[in-house]
Structure 1
């Protein structure tokens, strides 16, 4: 008789805890109680981290690789510090699925020995600990993607991005939690449970890269790698106030990563770095592209990294609303305040026509369930775990015929053409600025709309997510009386929004360029951030 899913889950959760060294475990009496919502200060107060550990984990990735290259820090010291902090983070917010501390520390020792022998780094990421989303394969460790039936299966192969980063000098030490099938905008599954937002544990850290966002937010990782097929790096980054970019398909290698929807290629999954600074996201992006990934992944396009010269007064189109669900008040305020500051800095601001956004978003749902949910059903049935309620659209889906699928894909192509024509009609347009999600971060179980991000997956545009410096204010950010809503789901979203619970959460926005404009969007995002601070 196959092992029951509940037993698999219990063992998987316990293994993560067992793999934390006893000296890094937080005594139960010292763990923050459930009513302590913001736990971001706890690691520094835990007594587990030395002053050097704190100095290391407070640092940005670009500074860490520089200090290792100068011999000021060893990779072993850096790796141990992040292993400790990741262990603390997991005990606070349940963000890890696989612990590889011993392998990571051994790899760091080898890099230190090589540096001592040659006086040279092995690559631009020499000695840098990098955390990986659960679906990236590391030989000898499982890639469960949230499924019980996959939680005990060690992988035999290595994802292309993992090999790429390893060759650049990276150290791998943890893998992070995801939702079941990576198709829920909150990181919850039957195997490892739910990941919490370190900024407010009653709210979500997002999905599907929510384990990464929570870990990076708690400084348990200087640089994480997530994936995005409908918003899965941008949404978690927004929920936790960190930075990322969704690249166009073909810039970063994606082959060899595990997927529950293998063969669904109408909307491509991409990967990217997630970090506490835009400079660290660029560190990931530039070095991956500089490694010539088109020689290892047939999907990668041979476009070397390009330098960008921005206009003194960029032209930005503002996208306020998708016509289906309005942003909640703090998101609208963050957008208005950001636009006002950019205008004051001389940016040319125009309004963006959202006419076909809902139509594009509706295509996403059809494409994701085109197989009638059979791919997910097979994996779920293998352990007899129950369907997650958030995956009801897959459970209830009807398989499409080839003709109907082709019609949907033809419609997608027509809408993409229409969107590009609209862009071209705005002379000199550099980017579109708008919400990442309708929320700062909602309560668990209340993330209901990914339309603001998924549209740009269908179009395959480059999009960043960045914190604006605006925070939810329970006095300012209330739903106005008599608000006219677009839909029943819009009305529900506004009713569920809780300004008191959300008070103090960061609010992020999304900056979008055309296809394959990663360099420009990173540079323009950085300029906007600097101009917002000034």
Structure 2
């Protein structure tokens, strides 16, 4: 959660200087041995024929590896075509008889294995089981002539906290590295019923409470567009896998930006639903029982069409009959007016955006205006008070929950956990007062929205930057704000690409706002973000997910207009 929880930038050093958790003197396997064995277990499950030959393996100096599948010569032309396809096109090709589910699954198992070797994206694989399931799906289709469901034959990757029976859900803790889950999360069974093939799980940060993806078990996941940079967090394993063509469609979760930050750093699409519309009651949580800020699940993909496909398929299944926390709201078809009205938030008045992000906002606003849409400005002054309250809600237990899980695994506390571990536990009465304050801010935002007559949505950056160097993700407030408000938010690549010659710091830039703002500016390197896409957020009113996705489509029409 970066600077939502921290007043100053942190480092992802392995051990906090301020705190080392006690380690037992028993003869148990050490945490380093457990981690090494778990990494070896994942690597050992990669078939030898999918190991990248030494002569093809990119050296560390080659930072861009998202094109490896297409350009390395390690994949056949058919495999390249399959792995470059959207989930929507995969199902269409299988149903048309052009491809089989088995060959699609084999192609993505291979590309996922390659992705892991390049960017360290996976925590668990079940390649043989997936291929067997695909063969059975093909046999079923041959008999019935009908697809099992709208995701027929689509390999779907899962964030590590989604339970698969017999597999660990580590959520980045040593304590759970070898703890096998006793049953599937409901979403796993539902996806299979819809025709999907489950084949891998992906890496997360410790407790899933960080804007990067690093933990003491699997280490750091890197961004395939530039391995010097982070793919975001906490669903960073998903974004790294999908952006390197190891998956067409993934499922992640979002409690502070954990879907949107990864999507924005890798040029992908996603949506953060309002709470209690998509099933996630039986996912593993880093801070179970913390519900002042609601965690939600959602899709991440290379196309808007696939985000809609997943969202509609899940809701059409009426999951509220299985998940007791869901609202029984069916999927609603939306007819937008020809012209929309947006408010733009240029920055959050705490950390200003870096040059490529500012350029992306300005370009998007100009193109929307040129297409006949109306764009006004949103008053950003009330935003920063949300951050202090958000921080206090997340640390209300004084870090007790995270500390207990670290102690259980006898592992050192990662540096980025300091903000939890050094916090003070508050009493129930004080928590209730924080929730009252939260509710009042909800009302203030609702009133501010209503004061702008005819406002359809808000456009804001997903972060102050495209991405950041490892351990340098200084601020996740741009996304955490809307978890606090529980608004639906999509992230989309807006068509603006980082340019080393254009996206330099201005000589006349305004004064620094604070230490985090200064660190963000100082770390901006136009060479690092050259060629990388900028992702923006589109925010809607609570529970208006269908409208948000429809508005993204309309914005894309504007930004892609010639």
Task: Write out aligned runs for 1:232-251 (5 A).
Answer: 232-251=258-277
2:530 to 499, 503, 506: 503
- Alpha-carbon offset, residue 326 of structure 1: 0.4
2:190 — aligned with what? 164
- Alpha-carbon offset, residue 113 of structure 1: 0.8
Residue deviations 1:38-62 (CA, integer Å, cap 9, x gap) = 0112122344322211111111111
Task: Write out aligned runs for 1:231-380 (5 A).
Answer: 231-380=257-406
Residue deviations 1:119-157 (CA, integer Å, cap 9, x gap) = 111111111100000000000100000111101111002
Residue deviations 1:217-256 (CA, integer Å, cap 9, x gap) = 0111010001000000000000001000100011110111
**SS of aligned partner of 2:416:** helix
2:91 to 37, 42, 65: 65
**SS of aligned partner of 1:196:** coil
Task: Write out aligned runs for 1:452-463 (5 A).
Answer: 452-463=478-489
Equivalent-residue separation in structure 1 for 2:281 and 2:97 (angstroms)? 35
1:80 to 88, 103, 106: 106
**SS of aligned partner of 1:412:** helix
Equivalent-residue separation in structure 2 for 1:323 and 1:496 (angstroms)? 19
2:461 — aligned with what? 435
Consecutive unaligned residues of structure 2, counting only runs of 5 or more, are 1-26
2:556 — aligned with what? 529
Residue deviations 1:200-219 (CA, integer Å, cap 9, x gap) = 00000000000000111011
Residue deviations 1:349-377 (CA, integer Å, cap 9, x gap) = 11001122111122221111111111111
Contact 1:3 1:383 in 2 (8 A): no
Residue deviations 1:476-522 (CA, integer Å, cap 9, x gap) = 11222353122121011101111122211111110000111110010
1:450 maps onto 2:476 in alignment: yes
Equivalent-residue separation in structure 1 for 2:323 and 2:491 (angstroms)? 26
Task: Name whichever of 150-159 and 40-49 sits farther off.
Answer: 40-49
Contact 1:356 1:415 in 2 (8 A): no
Residue deviations 1:80-126 (CA, integer Å, cap 9, x gap) = 01001001111000000001111111111111111111111111111
**SS of aligned partner of 1:73:** coil
Residue deviations 1:428-462 (CA, integer Å, cap 9, x gap) = 10000010000101111110111111110011100
1:107 — aligned with what? 133
Task: Name whichever of 478-487 and 421-430 sits farther off.
Answer: 478-487
Equivalent-residue separation in structure 2 for 1:328 and 1:195 (angstroms)? 24
1:493 maps onto 2:520 in alignment: yes
Equivalent-residue separation in structure 2 for 1:150 and 1:107 (angstroms)? 27
Contact 2:474 2:519 in 1 (8 A): no
2:546 to 509, 519, 531: 519
| Cα 1:293/1:325, change in 2 over 3 Å | same
Equivalent-residue separation in structure 2 for 1:187 and 1:253 (angstroms)? 24
**SS of aligned partner of 1:502:** coil
Equivalent-residue separation in structure 2 for 1:520 and 1:361 (angstroms)? 27
- Give the TM-score of the pair, scaled to structure 1: 0.99
- Alpha-carbon offset, residue 166 of structure 1: 1.5
RMSD: 1.0
- Alpha-carbon offset, residue 73 of structure 1: 1.2
Equivalent-residue separation in structure 2 for 1:148 and 1:337 (angstroms)? 45
Contact 1:93 1:196 in 2 (8 A): yes
1:213 to 239, 256, 266: 239
Equivalent-residue separation in structure 2 for 1:236 and 1:364 (angstroms)? 21
**SS of aligned partner of 1:510:** strand
**SS of aligned partner of 1:354:** coil
- Alpha-carbon offset, residue 30 of structure 1: 2.3
**SS of aligned partner of 1:343:** helix
Structure possessing the higher relative contact order (Cα contacts under 8 Å, 6 or more residues apart): 2
**SS of aligned partner of 1:20:** coil
1:424 — aligned with what? 450
2:22 — aligned with what? none
2:206 — aligned with what? 180
2:224 to 198, 218, 229: 198
Residue deviations 1:305-360 (CA, integer Å, cap 9, x gap) = 00101111100000111111001111011000110011000011110011221111
2:5 — aligned with what? none
1:471 — aligned with what? 497
1:35 to 61, 78, 91: 61
Task: Name whichever of 478-487 and 93-102 sits farther off.
Answer: 478-487
**SS of aligned partner of 1:197:** coil
- Alpha-carbon offset, residue 266 of structure 1: 0.6
1:123 maps onto 2:146 in alignment: no
